Chain A
Amino acid sequence: MSVSFCGLELAHPIINGSGTFDAIAAGQVFGEQLRERFPFAAYVSKTITLAPRQGNPPPRLWEAPAGLINSIGLPNKGLDRYLSEDLPALAQLGIGVSAADRPGRGVPLITNVMGSSAQEISNLLDACDEHEQIAAIELNVSCPNVKTGLDIGADPRSLEQVLGAVRGHTRKPLIVKLTPNTADVAACARAAQDGGADAVSLINTLRAMALAPGPRSSEADGSAQGSGARWLGGGSGGLSGPAIRSVALAQVAAVTERVSVPVIGMGGVQSAAHARDLIDVGATLVAVGTESFRDPEAGWRIAQGLGWSRQTADSTI
């Protein structure tokens, strides 16, 4: 038993959403057990950009009704250090390499990248393409185009154009992580497919914001964190968790009706039943994000709930 996805054979259909599980940090915290019981069938990296980013100033989190608003700001060490430092660290954890005792097995690595122009994205794809350890590339298109200021992925025409320009820069499977903050996500998915995407993933977080709590009064100190001021250091953020599950189901259903490429569905998945819903509307894989914050083993718990066991998973390849 295994799941085929863009030429990869995965041990089960559950992966992580980009930016919701740091395997290197988890390896420091949980040690060898992480490698032995890795919860995901493939590991998706945090978003990598050409230049290093420190991320947004705190506060970065706000607990929303049945969910979480984050304004992390894509902190990462930049492409060069990702390739030179993180790839070897991930290999130590068995990510992107075959396990020595079980040739052919291991957890495939999907590297998520973001650039603000076709040129930047091309450079990222060129660099990733040279690394055998990277099985597939996920392109985060929730990034303002430097020329237009609009998110590259928010407009079908600009998305297809950018993909057409960058597609030739990698032979690896290219997954487009769609933005849900658009008028017609299915049209964007179709544009991604027409531009050469091998798969699409959705939904990313929904744009959201929160105001600092407390009584509104004339004595408000006027500081950035006074009650009524924007709470998040980045001003606004993205909503995830159960609060967005129904939106995710509708968007994934709309997208699977319009595209023939495989779809990775995500958004508020906490249980096998939620994953089953996304699979029922046509998702090939399901990603788990915010639920891993509550339960680091959530990915495997959900795979088990779908009927996968270590035995069936181990007999895959």
Chain B
Amino acid sequence: MSAWTAASAPFARRLLQVTGMQRLGPYHVLRAVDPDGPLGGRGGANLVPGQFAMLACAERWGAGEDERPHLPRAFSIARLVDGECHFLIDDVGPGTRRLSELRAGEQLWALGPLGRGFTAPPEGRRAILVGGGAGIAPLAILQDRLQVTTTVLLGFRDLAHAHGAALLDGARVATDDGSTGHHGLVTDLLDADLARDADAVVYACGPAGMLEGVRALCERTATPAQLALEAGMACGFGACYGCVVPKRGGGYLRVCLDGPVIDAAELEHVDAHAGSPA
């Protein structure tokens, strides 16, 4: 098993330079450099797939629709290549709207990398990457980092959103409306794949409903699964206690501190509580 070890995040938010913004269907891929920090350049080696950063635009962060955004937004690190850090943005609220407007040359604040990421699969075990919507982001850097061949199963709303599948190599796609790929849920693809060969570790990220489907399926088939959860959070470093999810046996886990990647066995179910700050 290859060990992935996270270094401590710098105790300071840093100004990152935006180097590009590309469309990927309805999504936006934000690229930025962090020359002296761990989100690029020399630092990337200590970044674990599944970790995230808290992002906010350096200019005009606030005073948008409804006098928002105010708080930074949590984003999985989608990729780290050629000294550039990539984030996948889905414009669904005032924060993601403002971030998606960034252009090369502008700056953004970043705090991170934060949280616990994925654990590498045991030697010889197949990795199945299961993603939904903008939740495919951390699976891209995971695929880059894994030394083994991966099976990639991605679910999207429709053909337009399915363009996001280009973020990963060799993805099989399911869409809710059947406009491309399998007409149905990505968990249908996972079910069939596990039936073919159950000796696998599942890595999943996506909406709560999808994650719950993956969790239940993996529990039924006794397949180890690591779920990267999404939750609205104010800080990203354990201060606000806002991002909790119920854990198996009672009590709560802080998604920012105990996650965002949580072993499926630690959860009784994935709650469909919406994220809030978007």
- The chain A residues found within 8 Å of chain B, CB to CB, are 19-22, 25-26, 28-34, 37, 54-55, 57-68, 70, 72, 75, 225, 231, 233, 241-242, 290, 292-297
Contacts and interface: CB of A to CB of B under 8 A. Distances in A.
Contacts of B69: 63
Interface in B212-269: 231-235, 237-246, 250-252, 254, 257
A231 B276 CA distance: 9
B49 interface: no
Contacts of B9: 29-30
B145 interface: no
B239 A294 contact: no
Contacts of B235: 292-294, 296
Interface stretch (B10-18, B29-37, B166-174, B192-200): B10-18
A75 B276 contact: no
A70 B237 contact: no
Interface residues of B, number: 44
9 contacts: A29-B114, A58-B273, A65-B68, A70-B240, A225-B272, A233-B273, A296-B111, A296-B237, A297-B13
Contacts of A72: 240-242
A92 to B, nearest CB: 15
A59 B70 contact: no
B8 interface: yes
Given A29-B237, A54-B250, A296-B235, A225 B273 contact: yes
Contacts of A33: 8, 10-11
A297 B11 contact: yes
Given A29-B114, A63-B276, A294-B71, 7 more contacts: A54-B252, A59-B232, A59-B274, A60-B244, A63-B232, A242-B70, A293-B71
Contacts of B271: 58
B277 A63 contact: yes
A33 B250 CA distance: 33
B276 A37 contact: no
A132 to B, nearest CB: 26
Counting chain A CB atoms within 10 Å of each CB, the highest count among B62, B242, B272 belongs to B242
Contacts of A32: 8
Contacts of B237: 25-26, 29-30, 296
A290 B239 CA distance: 10
B244 A55 contact: yes
Contacts of B123: none
Given A29-B114, A30-B9, A297-B12, A225 B242 contact: no
Given A63-B276, A294-B56, A30 B70 contact: no
B257 to A, nearest CB: 5
Contacts of A21: 239
Nearest to A63: B277
Task: Tell which of B12, B70, B274 has the most Cβ of chain A within 10 Å.
Answer: B70
A293 B240 CA distance: 7
B66 to A, nearest CB: 6
A60 B68 contact: no
A28 B251 contact: no
Given A60-B241, A297-B11, A25 B252 contact: no
B207 interface: no
B82 interface: no
Interface in B25-45: none
Contacts of A63: 68-71, 232, 276-277
In the A-B complex, list the 4 residue pairs whose CB atoms are closest, starting with the nearest: A25-B238, A31-B8, A65-B67, A61-B242
Given A25-B257, A28-B257, A66 B67 contact: yes
A136 to B, nearest CB: 21
Contacts of A59: 232, 273-274, 276
A62 B243 CA distance: 11
A26 B238 contact: yes
Contacts of B121: none
Contacts of B246: 57
Contact of A68 (B66, B71, B231, B243): B71
A230 to B, nearest CB: 13
B72 interface: yes
Q: Which of the listed residues B239, B244, B246 has the most CB atoms from chain A within 10 Å of its own CB?
A: B239
Interface string B42-77: 000000000000001000001000111111100000
A290 B240 CA distance: 9
Contacts of B72: 293-294
Contact of B252 (A55, A70, A225, A293): A55
Contacts of B244: 55, 58, 60
A210 B235 CA distance: 20
